[in-house]
Chain A
Amino acid sequence: MKHNVYIYILIMALVTFAIRVLPLTLIRKKIKNRFVRSLLYYIPYVTLAVMTFPAIMDATRSPLAGAAALALGIVLAWFGAGLFKVSAACCILVLVLELFLVK
């Protein structure tokens, strides 16, 4: 059975809103449990890493171009480039590399 897209959107919106608003409204105390705090600290970085690779290689027509964009993005972000610069540079690199890599 195909699920309803609007129900997906509603669920995602409610969960996201709860995550963002609860600490600002109801839970105004610090979380005491060290493991929970540590888990919350690491999850964002780990999940973005897991979602980035190897997905970036499957998003482009040439996996090699995707891998190169990953490497460039890491280097630029390492040296402090912001979101727009990193994203734009990755796009341009793929555009140029695929001129040669994709026949």
Chain B
Amino acid sequence: MSAAAPARYPVPWKLLLPALMLFIAVVLIPLAMTIMLSFHKWGQYTGIEPVFILENWREIWSDSYFHEMFLRTFRIAVAATLLTAICGAPEAYILNRMRAPWKGIFLLIILGPLLISVVARTLGWALLFGGQNGIANKALMSIGLIDTPIPFMFTETGVIIALAHVMMPFMVLSVWAALQRVDPQIENAAMSLGAGPLTIIRRIILPQIMPGILSGGIIVFSLCASAFATPAIIGGRRLKVAATLAYDEFLNTLNWPLGAAVAVLLLMAIVLIVVSSNALIERRYAEAFR
């Protein structure tokens, strides 16, 4: 029925054109301009000169400062992604086994923070572990569990934990979606054949939710690699990642061409990683997606 559209319905071009024009004008053209910008020349006194040079790209390619920064960005993103997978996947499984009212309530509690401002959520971590005045630090010190404040602010560990907290709902959601496709009868069958709970999780559940973990991992990774507010607040000025570096080049140093090159490289790296891992997963789990 849906294939044969009624004759009096307008042709799709009329419906599509407004959105398409909007996207060409305000997404594709600005992106092309940014790529162009990364090849322009910049001087302290001359500003941006619209010439075609490779200087910005050569600087990123040869300066170890940029290598270290990009390495740190991806190290943090990988660690935060692993953390969300290790905590988020079991939690989704536990959630799925809960009974009716609790299931909905806890799903709301865990997914809800997704829509709360990242600044507010990161602020919470700064309040808990912000040096001497951190509330968790003060409480732990007063009961004598620790002598000095836990080093959290301005450390990579702190950024990783705060990022994992911010991105956790995406992982839970993704694994949750995969669990909805799992037939509970398979689990019962394994149990009736004498499999223990660990065997069931390892041999029955894990293989079936793996696509969910992996696709959740891709989303979390790409968001972590380009995260800005959390690394800026927890990491401070010393612990630079790609997004905060690009921000500084644009709004403090005013070297827009170099900032644009950093941003374009970040975009290319993320797109490359996401597309290739998506392709790998789809080939590996073609069965599960059918």
A binds B: no
